[in-house]
Amino acid sequence: MVKIYLDPGHGGTDPGAAGNGLQEKNVTLSIALKTRDILNRDYEGHSIRMSRTSDTTRSLTQRTNDANSWGADYFVSIHINAGGGTGYEDYIYNGSVSNNTLAYRDKVHAEIMKQVDFRNRGKKRANFHVLRESSMPAVLTENGFIDTVADANKLKSDAYLNRIATGHANGIAQSLGLKRKSGGGGNTYTVKSGDTLWSIAQAHNLTVQQLKNLNGLTNDTIYPGQVLIVSSGGAVYYTVKAGDTLWRISQQYNTTVNAIKSLNGLTSDIIQPGTRLRVK
């Protein structure tokens, strides 16, 4: 079983970049959680560990030490850019790297670019800590510019974050040779001109509300090229509310605390309001 380490950049006392009403730490966490959920829903033969699953502070050394001691096979660090540019780019270490590092990055880059309409800023190299100090192949993705209005507007869309996460998940799966789950897993549909939520829901035996819930949509607006999740693959998710505990959630869904922790790569019982957990 291969081990995937997902690293949502920044967190806690380190907000990362900010702009247009967004903080990097929140956007990276959302993308990483969605990536985890898509991988667990659609693929098999892997386990996932995350540097954080809520708004907590983790140093760069803590992140790489954790991944190294766990024996991860791939380290994926998710970030949002800043500095007035626009588009998507990714990085690997600018020193000596393995052939797998190069091949994995190529697959991740290609799959993300299939899903998003960000400008392609290319494949780059840098002396970043998480790339240099990780013992396994590692990539750092920069998903749009938080201080550029056009990019930030995309990052404010939960449906667009689903597209970014789908690209990450598919790229990671291709890199590591993960097998899709039998029965189709969680299928996606690319919106075409003239489509409505109602027509898509009817075609996939869903209600409009179920379709919106699968994709985190808060209104009925969709656009051509948007990638929608149209099957949950039987997975059940729950968004943590204030006062919730893992024990209370496990009782509500007739499961166990350990089962929920395993599904979500949790290493402690601490959960934060707003965190999306897979419960079955």
Instruction: Please give the single-letter amino acid code of residue 192.
Output: K
- 24, 89, 111, 142: which is the annotated catalytic residue? 142
Nearest to 100, CA basis, from 140, 139, 137: 137
| Tokens 């780019």, residue located | 89
In 26-113, the DSSP E strands lie at 43-44, 46-50, 74-81, 88-93
Instruction: Please give the single-letter amino acid code of residue 244.
Output: D
Nearest to 107, CA basis, from 145, 129, 74: 74
What is the distance between the alpha carbons of residues 32 and 8, in angstroms, rounded to a whole number? 6
Nearest-5° Cα angle at 220, 215 to 223: 80
Residues facing residue 145 across a β-bridge: 81
Q: Is 142 one of the catalytic residues? A: yes
Catalytic site residues? 142
